Structure 1
Amino acid sequence: MDGTLVDTEGLWWRTTEEIAADLGHRLTAVDAAEVVGRAVEDTAAHLVTVAGRGAPEAVAAALTSAFFARVEAGAPLRPGARELLSALARDGVPFALVSASPRIVVDSVVGGALAHVPFRFTLSADDTPRTKPHPDPYRAAAERLGVRPQDCVAVEDSPDGAASAEAAGCAVLVVPSLLGVPGSPRRTFLPTLEGVDAQVLRRCLEGPVTA
């Protein structure tokens, strides 16, 4: 969701910058791997560690509240996202949303920028014992869809998201946003979702494709 379908990674970064500043830490590119694509609790734990102050639970609550306020104010769709989701719905391809964001944020985005998109279901960080980069979310999604992970394509933008999907057994279409994502035999890289449809996703199951 974040950075893949909706342009919220920038909102998350600015939120984390503000909370980090409140703790006396200036967020830089060095922190990016612990911020982008990570669960709120992971980012909170990182901020507490680098700042040397604060309680992880309180920082996580502050991050969630501030990010939710920004998302509620509006989260624009990424280029090609609307067309891809419409094409999948038109072709009868089942699809779900798998996010490392809290349920409150997922529901806000799905009720706003992604309103009327016919997801079979949505999975948030609150819905599995472990979230990304662990494989739990994508394994749970495949099980609910009634298919093998190996027959699924995950669309991701971050290293942790891609790692989660690949560890679950999915093929991965990577459209990077804020962070670079390392390559692997199960990952296809495209610069944008523009022009991506069900046919492109099916080709991802056969191995990496090129633009």
Structure 2
Amino acid sequence: MDGTLVDSEKLWDIALHEMAKHLGGELTLETRLRMVGTNTAVTLELMYAELRLELTPEAYAEADAWLGDRMAELFTDELPWRPGALDALRTARDAGVPTALVTSTVRELTELALDSIGREFFDVSVCGDEVDGHNKPHPEPYLRAARLLGVDPTRCVAVEDSPTGVSAAVAAGCTVLVVPNELPVEPGERRVFRDSLIGFTLPMS
């Protein structure tokens, strides 16, 4: 979702840089890029390591709540679409293709995003706090989505923008339509590259 369908990584940029200042430090570009495609737990681990702070359970709970509240504020406004993403969703829906939203974002924020994106485009959704800690790059998010859809993951196409997401989808057995955004993605097995989703058709060309 983030960076694939909507350009919400820029909203995460705002919140994460604000959080670093709130904690008394600065977030470097290198560490911020390492956060792309990960879940909240990994993001906070990277943040606290960057700032040389101890991430105690109490600190984690406070930081998690702070970040969730700030992102909820930012997600309240209409989210900016990635080029061609809305038309791609409409194309898939019009073709009757079963569709899942698979994201590392937690359910609470995903529900806010779906209010903007349109939940009617998805048959099911899998969020970062629903996979028992087996977040991307682990294949479980995509395997869970395939189970919920009742389909074989090897017959699925995942749309991803980051190395972490691509690794998860490939490990699950999916073919991946890679549309890089913040980070470059290396060529590899079961990967088809496009510059954007503009002109997306079924079957993929």
Normalised to the residue count of structure 1, the TM-score between the two structures is 0.89
The alpha carbon displacement at 1:122 in A equals: 1.0
Matches within 5 A, 1:1-211: 1-53=1-53, 55-112=59-116, 114-115=117-118, 117-129=120-132, 130-200=134-204
Q: Distance in 2 between matches of 1:160 and 1:60?
A: 21
Where 1:38 maps in the other structure, the secondary structure is: coil
Note the residue ranges of structure 2 that are not aligned, 5 or more in a row. none
Asked if structure 1 preserves the Cα contact closer than 8 Å seen for 2:27 and 2:50, the reply is no
Q: Does structure 2 conserve the Cα–Cα contact (< 8 Å) formed by 1:32 and 1:179?
A: no
Gaps of at least 5 residues in structure 1 are: 204-211
- Report the 3-state secondary structure (helix = DSSP H, G, I; strand = E; otherwise coil) of the residue aligned with 1:192: coil
2 CA distance for matches of 1:178 and 1:65? Answer: 24
Query: Counterparts of 1:110 and 1:139 in 2: how far apart (Å)?
Result: 21
Report which stretch shifted further, 157-166 or 23-32: 23-32
Deviations 1:112-147 (A, max 9, x none): 2x1253311111112111221111100001111111
For 2:32 and 2:131, the matched residues in 1 are separated by 24
The number of equivalent residue pairs is: 200
Matched to 2:92, the amino acid is L
Distance (whole Å) between structure 2 residues aligned to residue 104 and residue 151 of structure 1: 29
Greater than 6 Å deviation, 4+ residue runs: none
TM-superposed CA distance for 1:60, in Å, is: 2.1
Letter paired with 2:129: D
Identity percentage over the alignment? 38
Distance of 1:25 and 1:186 partners within structure 2 = 41
- Report the CA distance shift for 1:100/1:116 in structure 2 as closer, same or farther (over 3 A): closer
Amino acid at match of 2:97: V
The root-mean-square deviation of aligned C-alpha atoms, in Å, is 1.4
* Paired residues of 2:156 and 2:174 also in contact (CA < 8 A): yes
Partners of 2:28 and 2:51 in 1: how far apart? 13
The residue type equivalent to 1:197 in the other structure is: T
